Amino acid sequence: MATSPHNATATGEPQHDRLSAEYLDVLDRFHNELTVHKNASEHTVRNYIADATNLMQFLTHDGNGDPIPLADIEIGNLRQWLLHLSSQGASSGTLARRIAGIRSFFTFTTRAGITATNPASRLSTPKKATRLPTVLQQSHTEDVLTQPFEPPADDAKLTKAQRATRARDIALVELLYATGMRVSELVNLDTTDVDWTAGLITVLGKGNKQRRIPFGGPSQRALTEWLEVRNHLASDGQEALFVGVRGGRINQRQVRDVVHRATAKRANSPEISPHGLRHSAATHMVENGADIRQVQEFLGHATLSSTQIYTHVSLGKLKDSYTRAHPRA
C-alpha cells in the first residue's frame, strides 16, 4: 500500500546525505546507464538524476531514515510525490518533465532486475500549456541583424580588440539566424567545422548527433570578416570558432548577452534570445514554403512533433492565404 513520506525540502531540492545505501547505489548505476550506455546529454543526466533523487528523498519516512525499498514502490507513491510537487507550485510542464525522468529511471531498474515492474508506466502526463515561441517579423530581421552593429561615430578610436569583438558579434548573430543552430552547438564549433567549399557547417547536436547545416551569403561574409580579425582576440592554439575577450572559447552566457543587446536596440521588435533566433529561422522557412520535414532536419529535431510547433506559429500566414485563395472564404 502506498505511503506518504514527506522528506523533500520545501523547494523540492533533494538532500543526498539523507538517502539510504540502496538508493545511493541505484543512483550511481542509473548515472552510469545514462552516461555510458545511453550517451545522454549532460543536461538530461543532471535532470534525470535530480528527479530520481528528489523522489527517493520524498519516499524516505518522516525523518527516521527508513526509506521504502525500491521493490515496494507503487504507482500510488509516485502520485503522492507528484501531488506534493504540485502543492509546492510545480507547473504542468515541470511535472511532465519530472515524470519523463522517473519513467526512464524505473525503465532502468526494471531492466536491471531491481524492480519487478515499472510503477511509472501508468502515470499520466499532465498536458503542458502550449507557449508559442517569440519570433522576429521577417520585415524586422534585416534591421535586427545589422542595425545594432553599425560603426560608432568614434570608430577610428576603437582598438583592434574592440573591432574584432564587433566583427565576432555580427558573425555569431548572423550564424545563429542563418543556421537555426542551438546556442550550445554554436559555442562548441571549431574553425575546422566550416566547409567553405560546400557552404556547410558541421554541428554536434543533442545526443552527440552530428548534422551539416547550410549557411548563406550574409553569414558567410560576416564569418569571413570575423576570421580575418579573430587573431586579435583568440589565444595561441585556440581552435574555437568563436572566442571571448580573454581568448578562450566563448560561453553561452556571453552569446546570450550579445543577442539580447542586438535585439533590444530595434524599436517595435521583441527582445529575444539565441533560441528566439532559432525559432525565427524555422518559422520564416515554414512561412516561405519549406517542407516541415526539411525544417526538422535543419533544426536537428529527433521527432517531427517538435518541429510542428512552427506550423502553429505560422497560422496567421495560413489564414491570409485562405482568405485570398479559398473560393468560400
Same domain, 59 and 152: no
CA atoms within 13 A on the CB side of 21: 0
Closest CA to 40 of 106, 125, 105, 120: 105
Domain end residue (candidates: 96, 111, 126):
111
* 29 located within any domain: yes
Is 182 among the residues known to form the active site?
yes
- pTM greater than the 0.75 cutoff: no
Q: Are residues 300 and 210 in the same domain?
A: yes
Domain boundary among 69, 96, 111: 111
Say if residue 106 is in the same domain as residue 149.
no
Residue 31 maps to a domain: yes
Q: Report d(CA 80, CA 84) in Å as an integer.
A: 6
Burial class (CB in 10 A: 0-12, 13-18, 19+), 256: middle
**In angstroms, rounded to a whole number, what is the distance separating the alpha carbons of residues 71 and 119?**
10
Instruction: Verify that 196 and 280 share a domain, yes or no.
Output: yes
Residue 313 lies in a domain: yes
Let me know if 278 is a catalytic residue.
yes
pLDDT at position 226 is: 96
**Known active-site residue 209:** no
* Three-state SS at 60: strand
Q: Residue 92 is part of which domain span? A: 16-111
- How many structural domains compose the chain? 2
DSSP for residue 232? G
Domain identity same for 107 and 157: no
319 Cβ contact list (under 8 Å, min separation 6) = none
Q: Is 220 found in the same domain as 81? A: no
Among 23, 48, 177, 310, the active-site one is 310
Q: What is the CATH number of the domain that holds 74?
A: 1.10.150
Give me 277's grid cell. Answer: 533566433
Q: Which of 266, 278, 279, 284 is catalytic?
A: 278
- Kindly report the CATH number assigned to the domain that includes residue 163: 1.10.443.10
Instruction: State yes or no: is 128 an active-site residue.
Output: no
Looking at the fold, whether 220 and 255 belong to one and the same domain comes out as: yes
Task: Indicate if 150 and 266 belong to the same structural domain.
Answer: yes
pLDDT of residue 311: 65
What pLDDT, on the 0 to 100 scale, is given for residue 139? 74
Shared-domain flag, residues 90 and 231: no
Backbone dihedral region for residue 207 (phi beyond 0: left; psi -120 to 50: alpha; all else: beta): left
215 shares its domain with 287: yes
Q: Please report, in tens digits, the pLDDT of each residue of the chain (329 residues total).
A: 443 333 334 334 444 557 888 999 999 999 999 999 988 989 999 999 999 999 999 888 544 557 889 999 999 899 989 988 988 888 888 898 999 999 999 999 999 999 999 999 888 877 665 566 677 777 778 777 776 666 666 677 789 999 999 999 999 999 999 999 999 999 999 999 999 999 999 999 888 889 999 998 899 999 999 999 999 999 999 999 999 999 999 999 999 999 988 877 665 566 688 988 998 888 888 888 888 888 888 888 888 877 877 766 555 555 565 566 655 54
Per DSSP, the three-state class of 48 is: helix
Q: Is residue 175 part of a domain?
A: yes
